[in-house]
Structure 1
Amino acid sequence: MRRRLFIRQSLFAFAIAGTNKILSCTSTEAKPVDYEIKQFEDEGLSHFSYAIEAGKKLVLIDPSRDPQPYYDYAAARGAEIIAVIETHTHADFVSAHLQIHQERNVPVLISKLAKATYPHQPFDESDLLSISDKVSLRAINTPGHSSDSLSVVLEVDGNDVAVFTGDALLLGGVGRPDLREYSGEAASQREYLAKQMYETIHNKYSPLADDVLVYPAHGAGSLCGNGLSEAKVSTIGHERKNNFAFQSTTEDAFVTRLLLDQPDVPVYFPFAVEVNRDGAQPLLPALSTLARLSAIPRGEPQSLIVDTRSAEQFRAGHLPGAINIPDRRKSETWLGTLVAPDEPFYLIVEDQASIQPRLEKIGKIGYEALVKGVLIYDEQQFDQKSATFDTTDFKANPTQYLILDVRSEEEAKAKPVFAETKVIPLSRLKEQLDSINTDKPIAVHCASGYRSAVATSLIKKHKPEAQVLDIGENIKQYGDDHT
């Protein structure tokens, strides 16, 4: 039996500026459009979130940490946010669901299986949320990525139009089932969840019509899936023809394929799950309390220092023992991979204008509380310089170097660059530093220079006696395709 949920209007209305692209949904018939879908994209985390509007009422699905773009969109549309739906407790980013609940006085809907501790309303199989007299959202439980995963079907005049699949059905693949073992659950869960995903694909998604639109919570590059399409929206029909999950003939074949060669899991994932289960506090007030420092306090020379300036700036001068995680796309993921949730750190930026955007990135993974203070680059303090990679000597005497490849094992195997190479993916480097011999100069490379810059600084921090050289962008001289 369907349980229909009725949401009273919220009491708050205000707007904050933000920008995002709109995806308009149009009917195939010549009649007024009854609803509107907007897709928000966070490229750094390959995260999609959504606003569904009908009758000047708006429901958010899987919002990111910053609620401002959603508020702005609602104000621009003259619509009111009436609910937030979470498809599961996310591992790769921290959501603003609790903040939106507090600021807009609207309910958060999530599966009862999520065991959320913040104020929420259960939303499970066949439950309906009415947005207007013609438009409703229907819950279907879709376990596999996690036991609490649900998808949201958009119904218009009783017809299925779209499905918001969270991390369950992704474009070209499905959500990985091995994250919960890193969140304190049994390792055997990965095979159990993989089997659940097989049932979900064939019993929950397959019955949907081919023309039903598919809107996932993640796209290509997300660590919640593997080998995903670059597309941002698809259809059930397209996925039925092109997604391996629909084509696996047996459960065993599906499970084997799904568990094969999954990427390493960043250490912050279990932490983010717990933050989302409890609900994160508002971000901007938390950032406003962080201290802006002129120097690291005396007595803390061993403190962890994360320098977010470019690799070139870092090599020219940095604080001793700092690790370099340059601010680029996915830098927040690398921060959450190399810095554990129990490791407070000082943050280095290049100028005043960089402070707020860097902190907001850190807040996306819930790490703002780890920042002990922010320092702006000062040439007088940053007197440690990195050794320069000598291309000529390296080409003449390659055997005199230990060559360290910090790409993934799959990349290193598919596109080997040097004959004699030690491969340690950057995601595992911190745990395998003791295996690196420092008798020779260590020449570090990746595919473009980003990961090698991070790795070089990490090795130097933990092995200050080593001569560590970043091949950097010079790697492009040794192969045809380094991306």
Structure 2
Amino acid sequence: MNRRLFIHRSAILFTLASAGQGASCFGNTDKQELGYTIKQFEDEGLVQFSYAILADRKIVLVDPARDPAPYYAYAKEQGAKIIAVVETHSHADFVSSHLEIHQDQNVPVYVSKLLQATYPHQTFDDGDTLKISDHIVLHAINTPGHSADSISVLLKDRGNDVAIFSGDAVLIGGVGRPDLREYSGQQASQREKLARQLFHTVNNSYLKLADHVLLYPAHGGGSFCGNAIKDLKQSTIGAERKQNFAFQKRSEEEFVQLILSDRSPIPVYFPYNVALNRKGAAALHTSLSGIPIIAASMAKVLESKVVDTRKAAQFRQSHFPKAINIPERSKSESWIGTFIAPQESFYLVADTKQEVQLQLEKLAKIGYEQFVKAAVIYGDYKGQKSATFDQAAFDRNQTDYFIVDVRTVAEAKAEPVFKEAHNIPLAELTQHIAELPLDKIIVVHCASGYRSAIASSLINESAPGTRVWDVGEHIKEYKQSKN
């Protein structure tokens, strides 16, 4: 298996000559004159950012993603050497390559002592520093709230604060959720404790920084790790004073109530990722190379769950019995990690060998490649056919059907489509399937047809024989008729 760059990334390069200056993208400044360079890597599917801080031909990585190849390529391109990895916390939504980089490059991994890491590491807490060059030094700041072990990394140039790598403590427009760790074996009461710590992190650490300090978070808009995150890649403390709801003046009690008031469901893979990151994941290439790839005729699918990543139209025409359809799309790995529990083995289905490869690589981002019993190339296999949406029959009398809207609560309230629809967000659907009137035809819709494809397959997987119609892309016609 080729070790290619499996995460679709865009890289943003920031060059700054001295403290207090703004960032210029892809600047032509002579690199010999720069104090340092910051390169941001983006995983668009998980909306995850990682960083390479370059100074004096030495690189420190912050929160690297599962595949270390992009960082190695950047170091080679710059004629530089990776000297350290810093983890801002034990991540819940993706698997980091910190252990693999440590083993490959023989470099230390810096984490808070509160993380309780079981891999070789050096502690990095309040007062600790990591020197990259004569002028560039990284300072650790304990910033609990998203998690107890969260740290932020303050970059100083000649003693001046220039940039802060916030992990999930502070995000652009918001802050990291304080309720994730209760799903990692700790008590639910920890939510409030962490929310209070987050209040003090914002007020005692971040608000004391100067407006010009650049903010580099671990996530952007659309991440599960925070609410109200803006779709931006970097910010400044000054901008956050104006736009970040958590930076606005309010009492601790008001802050805690606000932070805990809007908590969407958490994918089941999050606690698994936290634990895996605490011990360190296996090397990517080694982990992927052991997965068998087989033809559909060889799969004994009744023995395990089946996740079919083909397009919804292909799935409806032919699929394995009780298969779950999670079509390839941005964030599809997160949906798989929502409906397949950690340690639960499953077959992964795609249409071609190339698509199988893509799906395995995406699953590796959340550490699920090790649960794949085999990757199945479906090809022209003749399987089971799903019921199709009878639009004419549905339009004659919609009250004859039980309509399920699997959009979020906010989406359903903002733009109702069918008067008689019952809103059950997709992330919560499996908890309510037993409550559905299975003697009626279930009609499922979302905003575009993607989530309804997943939902209809989930209902059929849980309650075989149920008559389910997926409105699919027809929903666009109904939405247009409302306007």
* TM-based fold match above 0.5: yes
- Structure 2 counterpart of 1:11: none
For 2:343 and 2:16, the matched residues in 1 are separated by 48
Aligned length: 467
**Which of residues 13, 24, 31 is equivalent to 2:14?**
24
- Structure 2 counterpart of 1:454: 454
Change (3 A) 1:284 1:420: same
2:229 counterpart SS class: coil
Q: CA deviation at 1:33?
A: 1.5
Residues 1:394 and 2:394 aligned together: yes
1:221 counterpart SS class: coil
1:22 counterpart SS class: strand
Matches within 5 A, 1:420-431: 420-431=420-431
The residue type equivalent to 1:49 in the other structure is S
The farther-off stretch of 405-414 and 441-450 is 405-414
- Structure 2 counterpart of 1:216: 217
- Structure 2 counterpart of 1:256: 257
Change (3 A) 1:77 1:361: same
For 1:102 and 1:480, the matched residues in 2 are separated by 55
For 1:216 and 1:480, the matched residues in 2 are separated by 38
CA deviation vs aligned residue, 1:439-472 (integer Å, no higher than 9, x gap): 2111100111111000101111121221101101
Q: Would the aligned equivalents of 1:248 and 1:254 in 2 still touch at CA under 8 Å?
A: no
Q: Would the aligned equivalents of 1:111 and 1:124 in 2 still touch at CA under 8 Å?
A: yes
Q: CA deviation at 1:341?
A: 0.3
The farther-off stretch of 439-448 and 115-124 is 439-448
For 2:194 and 2:11, the matched residues in 1 are separated by 34
Q: CA deviation at 1:342?
A: 2.4
1:259 counterpart SS class: helix
Q: CA deviation at 1:74?
A: 0.5
Q: CA deviation at 1:142?
A: 0.3
- Structure 1 counterpart of 2:469: 469
- Structure 2 counterpart of 1:9: none
For 2:474 and 2:189, the matched residues in 1 are separated by 44
Q: CA deviation at 1:283?
A: 1.3
Question: Unpaired runs of 5+ in structure 2?
Answer: 23-28
Change (3 A) 1:436 1:248: farther
Please report the TM-score for the alignment, with normalisation by the length of structure 2.
0.94
- Structure 2 counterpart of 1:4: none
The residue type equivalent to 1:21 in the other structure is A
Q: Would the aligned equivalents of 1:17 and 1:72 in 2 still touch at CA under 8 Å?
A: no
The residue type equivalent to 2:228 in the other structure is G
- Structure 2 counterpart of 1:105: 106
Q: Would the aligned equivalents of 2:296 and 2:378 in 1 still touch at CA under 8 Å?
A: no
* Aligned residues: CA RMSD: 1.8
Q: Sequence identity of aligned pairs in percent?
A: 56
Matches within 5 A, 1:222-241: 222-241=223-242
Q: Would the aligned equivalents of 1:154 and 1:160 in 2 still touch at CA under 8 Å?
A: yes
Q: CA deviation at 1:357?
A: 1.4
Residues 1:415 and 2:418 aligned together: no
The residue type equivalent to 1:228 in the other structure is I
Q: Would the aligned equivalents of 1:110 and 1:122 in 2 still touch at CA under 8 Å?
A: yes
For 2:480 and 2:239, the matched residues in 1 are separated by 33
The farther-off stretch of 421-430 and 48-57 is 421-430
Q: CA deviation at 1:262?
A: 1.6
Change (3 A) 1:296 1:185: farther
Matches within 5 A, 1:268-279: 268-279=269-280
Q: CA deviation at 1:356?
A: 1.6
CA deviation vs aligned residue, 1:222-279 (integer Å, no higher than 9, x gap): 0000111011100000001111111032011111111112211000000000000000
Change (3 A) 1:273 1:467: same
